[in-house]
């Protein structure tokens, strides 16, 4: 990596951090080889790279994927977050504990969302996702393996392109035909837009202008205008510049990016490469959560196909231009969806959000200008450049522009991923998914993932768009519609969401770390005593205000928003209480995903300036 540019105001606190390179890939390699991180291996690594052991221990203690004790033969992970909770995760976990709790071969762990909400309650056996009903068979098969042996690499099944074939561990929702945002028909040569730019047929300077005219906004959560972000990075004089695709979606109910990675890796990578050309970056990464092993395999195959075609590497298409793309596997943690926490991770530090400004577009990875967008944002770029801004605007409905992928889960007949015109209503999306499961009446929805406020049935006709949902008291967030049937305990559901934020808090700031823990304890005790929304006292309101106003990133700022929204619904309010949004001028709205709002972040609403 090149030397970082001169320090800018606001980064003084970073002066004492080790400069790198990141040790996280080395730790991944040790754990992949041995199944865990023995102390003698860490001592050897410390000596080899001349880095203090306490720094390495600090990394390991922060990231949940790393382990310092030998694993059993079978690691059984079961999700307990909202979408799975709605599908009986508590009962499933109890049954599994009764069956396997005393089994010395099996390590049963309740985990946060693993991105398989369409197969709720979601289970993973030795990090391999599996439908819960099939877990027993995979457990039996895993008993015969060595503890450190990884699950076998999925083999490809027939599909139009060898590099983009799905794996048995992935699901296909495209129906065998291209999604509406894919400009390439079956059998058609892909990367046409990139080839046109590299050959000079299309002026690279036009890319940003077309994006700006299209009105494309970040699709990871924050909704920041993509063209403006690209323009900001392109305008920086510092070199080198970097580009990152944030594929670390981890918010409960959110799995659309997973599906795009599985079915549209060519669009994600073409969008990333176009972004690199537009802003002047030579190095790019796909930062992907470690739970997305099958999807990571798809992306790696596609990158190899790009290199073989001469479209990635040191001399792309004979132009002398260098466009290098690599994969960086996350060591775990929802907070890494927030853009600055992600960068901290890539630099080899604990993934704690930075204070802003400066924003990554000016001072990002290794202190250099960095373009970061989400999976869906990059995937929309090729068709916008090919067909033009006007075509993209016409794809929306009700005054909205473009297309939008949604993950639909919860009490719904056909959970899955759907691509619809932006501005479609929640009612229309719910009908596409077959309606509420079992023909039951609707109780509430979360329109934008776990960090979005709950809305009642009277809000089903609100357009699923950034501004319309904000006016309705919620947000579009990460594009995850979670459906709750009538009769669901909404306070219990909101407390489940709060537990996720408590568990995933990075702990850097006191308001988030202590506030989320205290609020969850208060609500859990209330529910255990048979209380309801009417029994919630002013402590929750005061905690929400404190966390919203003083937390560093979006995770803490919105953690109690869903709880406040359900306090209004059962009490007869006509709408959820307004979603908390810290006031920020538009030019500062680059924050990350946890909050899914400008100036915040993921990992989800992730557009971690936006992740997106």
Question: Which pLDDT belongs to residue 265?
Answer: 97
Task: Tell me the H-state helices in 148-292.
Answer: 192-199, 205-214, 226-234, 256-263, 265-279
The CATH number of 74-142 is 3.40.30.10
How far apart, in whole angstroms, are the C-alpha atoms of residue 422 and residue 491? 30
The answer to whether the beta carbons of residues 554 and 597 sit under 8 Å apart is: yes
Residue 268 pLDDT: 98
Q: Could you report the per-residue pLDDT of 61-91, keeping only the tens digit for each?
A: 999 999 999 998 999 999 999 999 999 999 9
Write down the pLDDT at residue 598: 28
Q: pLDDT band at 171, cuts 50/70/90?
A: low
Mean pLDDT of 348-368: 93
pLDDT at 15: 55
Answer with the residue of higher pLDDT: 154 or 238.
238
Q: Which residues contact 408 (CB under 8 A, 6 or more apart)?
A: 414, 415, 416, 417, 418, 429, 430, 432, 433, 480, 481, 483
- Which pLDDT value is given to residue 64? 93
Q: Which of 111-115, 150-154, 223-227, 504-508 has the lowest mean pLDDT?
A: 150-154
* Residues 391-426 pLDDT 10s: 999 999 999 999 999 999 999 999 999 999 999 999
Return the CATH number of 400-588, one of 3.10.20.600, 3.30.70.100, 3.30.360.10, 3.30.70.20.
3.10.20.600
User: Is the Cβ–Cβ distance between 397 and 180 less than 8 Å?
Assistant: no
Question: What is the value of pTM for the model shown?
Answer: 0.89
Indicate if 162-183+191-391 has the same CATH topology as 74-142. Answer: no
Range 292-307 average pLDDT = 97
Mean pLDDT computed over 137-160 = 53
| Token representation of residue 154 | 């999925």
Maximum Cα interatomic distance, the chain, rounded to a whole number of Å:
70
Residue 570's pLDDT band (boundaries 50, 70, 90)?
low
Contact 265, 302 (CB under 8 A): yes
CA dihedral 191, 193, 195, 196 (to 10 degrees): 160
Beta-carbon contacts of 222 under 8 Å, excluding residues fewer than 6 positions away, are 589, 590, 591, 592, 593, 595, 596, 597, 598, 599, 600, 601, 605, 607, 608, 609, 610, 611, 612
Going by the DSSP 8-state scheme, the letter that residue 107 receives in this structure is E
Let me know how long the chain is.
612
**Range with the lowest mean pLDDT among 11-20, 89-98, 313-322?**
11-20
Which stretches within 309-338 are classed as H helix?
none
What does the alpha-carbon distance between residue 2 and residue 7 come to, in Å, rounded to a whole number?
Answer: 14
Question: DSSP label at 535?
Answer: G
Do 455 and 473 touch, CB atoms closer than 8 A?
A: yes
Q: Which residue in the block uniquely carries the two structure tokens 């030795």? A: 126
Lowest mean pLDDT among 32-41, 221-230, 478-487, 567-576: 567-576
Which residues have a Cβ under 8 Å from the Cβ of 470 and sit 6 or more positions away? Answer: 579, 581
What mean pLDDT is predicted for residues 155-175? 45
Return the structure tokens found at 388.
Answer: 């033009």
pLDDT single digits (tens) 526-551: 999 999 999 999 999 999 999 999 99
Quote the percentage of the chain above a pLDDT of 70: 84
pLDDT in tens, 479-529: 999 999 999 999 999 999 999 999 999 999 999 999 999 999 999 999 999
Instruction: Assess whether pLDDT exceeds 70 at residue 13.
Output: no
pLDDT band at 135 (very low <50, low <70, confident <90, very high): confident
Backbone angles phi, psi at 160, to 5 degrees: -60, -35
Contact between 53 and 45 under an 8 Å Cβ cutoff? The reply is no
Give the pLDDT score at 379: 98
Q: Closest Cα partner for 27 from 78, 74, 66? A: 66
Residues facing residue 296 across a β-bridge:
none
pLDDT of residue 568: 82
pLDDT at 226: 96
- The DSSP annotation for 449-464 comes to BTTSPPB-GGGTTSBS
Q: Is 75 helix (H, G, I), strand (E, B) or coil?
A: strand
Rounded alpha-carbon distances, angstroms, from residue 299 to 59, 230, 260? 26, 23, 10
Is 12 exposed, middle or buried (CB count within 10 Å of its CB: 0-12, 13-18, 19+)?
exposed
Span 22-45, pLDDT tens digits: 999 999 999 999 999 999 999 999
* pLDDT, position 137: 87
Q: Write the CA distances from 3 to 35, 233, 366, integer angstroms.
A: 35, 18, 8
Q: Of the ranges 157-171, 297-311, 451-465, which one carries the lowest mean pLDDT score? A: 157-171
Residue 171: both structure tokens together: 């699901």
Q: Domain spanning 162-183+191-391 has what CATH number?
A: 3.40.50.11540
Taking 60 as the threshold, does the pLDDT of residue 158 lie above it? no
The conformational region for residue 157 under phi > 0 = left, psi -120 to 50 = alpha, else beta, is beta
Who contacts 528 (Cβ-Cβ below 8 Å, separation ≥6)? Answer: none
Tell me what pLDDT residue 6 has: 58
Q: What percent of the chain is predicted at pLDDT more than 90? A: 76
Tokens of 281: 């970056």
Give the closest residue to 227 by CA, choosing from 271, 182, 197, 285. 271
**Residue 216's pLDDT is what?**
97
Amino acid 2: pLDDT: 47
Are 376 and 480 in contact by the 8 Å Cβ rule? The answer is no
- Residues in a beta bridge with 418: 406
Q: Which of 40-54, 158-172, 553-567 shows the lowest mean pLDDT across its residues?
A: 158-172
* pLDDT attached to residue 21: 83
Asked if 405 contacts 252 with a C-beta cutoff of 8 angstroms, the reply is no
The answer on pLDDT for 12 being more than 70 is no
Q: Please, which residues bridge with residue 242 across strands?
A: 283, 370
Contact 133, 87 (CB under 8 A): no
* pLDDT reported for residue 597: 30
Q: Pairing mode, if any, of strands 123-125 and 128-130?
A: antiparallel
Quote the tokens at residue 460: 């089903």
Residues 516, 426: Cα–Cα separation, whole Å: 30
Domain boundaries, given as residue ranges, for the chain: 17-62, 74-142, 162-183+191-391, 400-588
What pLDDT is recorded for position 356? 86
Per the CB < 8 A criterion, the answer to whether 74 and 108 are in contact is: no
Handedness of CA 154, 155, 158, 163 (dihedral sign): positive
DSSP conformation letters of 161-184: -GGG---TTS---STTS--TT---
Is the predicted pLDDT of residue 175 greater than 90, yes or no? no
| Residue 235: Cβ within 10 Å count | 13
Q: Tell me how far apart the alpha carbons of residues 258 and 256 are, in angstroms, rounded to a whole number.
A: 5
């Amino acid at each position: 990596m090149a030397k970082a540019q001169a320090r800018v105001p606001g980064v003084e606190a970073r002066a004492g951090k080790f400069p790198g390179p990141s040790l996280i890939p080395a730790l991944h390699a040790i754990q992949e080889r041995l199944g865990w991180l023995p102390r003698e291996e860490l001592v050897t690594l410390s000596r080899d790279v001349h880095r203090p052991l306490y720094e390495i221990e600090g990394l390991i203690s922060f990231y949940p994927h790393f382990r310092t004790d030998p694993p059993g033969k079978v690691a059984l992970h079961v999700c307990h977050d909202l979408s799975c909770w709605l599908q009986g995760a508590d009962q499933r976990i109890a049954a599994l504990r009764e069956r396997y709790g005393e089994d010395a071969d099996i390590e049963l762990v309740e985990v946060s969302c693993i991105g398989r909400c369409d197969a709720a309650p979601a289970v993973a056996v030795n990090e391999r996702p599996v439908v819960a009903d099939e877990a027993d068979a995979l457990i039996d098969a895993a008993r015969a393996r060595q503890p450190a042996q990884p699950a076998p690499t999925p083999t490809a099944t027939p599909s139009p392109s060898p590099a983009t074939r799905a794996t048995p561990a992935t699901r296909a929702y495209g129906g065998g035909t291209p999604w509406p945002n894919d400009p390439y028909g079956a059998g058609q040569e892909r990367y046409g837009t990139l080839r046109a730019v590299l050959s000079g047929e299309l002026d690279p300077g036009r890319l940003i202008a077309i994006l700006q005219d299209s009105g494309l906004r970040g699709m990871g959560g924050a909704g920041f205008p993509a063209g403006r972000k690209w323009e900001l990075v392109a305008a920086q004089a510092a070199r080198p510049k970097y580009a990152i695709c944030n594929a670390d979606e981890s918010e409960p109910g959110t799995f659309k990016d997973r599906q795009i990675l599985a079915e549209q890796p060519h669009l994600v990578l073409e969008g990333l490469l176009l972004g690199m050309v537009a802003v002047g970056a030579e190095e790019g990464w796909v930062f992907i959560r470690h739970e997305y092993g099958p999807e990571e395999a798809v992306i790696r195959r596609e990158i190899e196909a790009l290199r073989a075609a001469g479209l990635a590497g040191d001399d792309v298409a004979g132009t002398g231009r260098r466009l290098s793309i690599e994969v960086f596997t996350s060591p775990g943690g929802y907070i890494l969806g927030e853009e600055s926490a992600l960068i901290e991770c890539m630099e080899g530090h604990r993934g704690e959000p930075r204070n802003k400004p400066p924003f990554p577009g000016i001072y990002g990875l290794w202190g250099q200008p960095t373009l970061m967008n989400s999976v869906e944002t990059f995937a929309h770029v090729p068709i916008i450049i090919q067909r033009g801004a006007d075509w993209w605007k016409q794809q929306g409905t009700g005054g909205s522009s473009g297309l939008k992928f949604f993950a639909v889960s919860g009490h719904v007949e056909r959970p899955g991923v759907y691509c619809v015109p932006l501005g479609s209503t929640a009612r229309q999306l719910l009908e596409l998914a077959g309606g509420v499961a079992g023909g039951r009446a609707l109780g509430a929805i979360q329109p934008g993932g776990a960090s979005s406020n709950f809305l009642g049935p009277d809000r089903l006709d609100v357009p699923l768009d950034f501004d319309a949902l904000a006016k309705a008291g919620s947000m579009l967030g990460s594009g995850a519609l979670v459906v709750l049937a009538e009769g669901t305990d909404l306070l219990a559901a909101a407390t489940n969401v709060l537990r996720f934020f408590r568990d995933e808090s990075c702990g850097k700031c006191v308001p988030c770390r202590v506030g989320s823990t205290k609020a969850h304890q208060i609500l859990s005790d209330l529910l255990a005593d048979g209380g309801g929304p009417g029994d919630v006292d002013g402590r929750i309101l005061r905690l929400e205000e404190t966390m919203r106003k003083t937390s560093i990133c979006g995770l803490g700022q919105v953690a109690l928003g869903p709880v406040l929204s359900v306090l209004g619904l059962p009490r007869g309010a006509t709408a959820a209480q307004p979603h908390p949004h810290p006031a920020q001028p538009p030019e500062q709205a680059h924050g990350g995903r946890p909050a899914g709002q400008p100036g915040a972040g993921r990992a989800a609403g992730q557009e971690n300036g936006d992740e997106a």
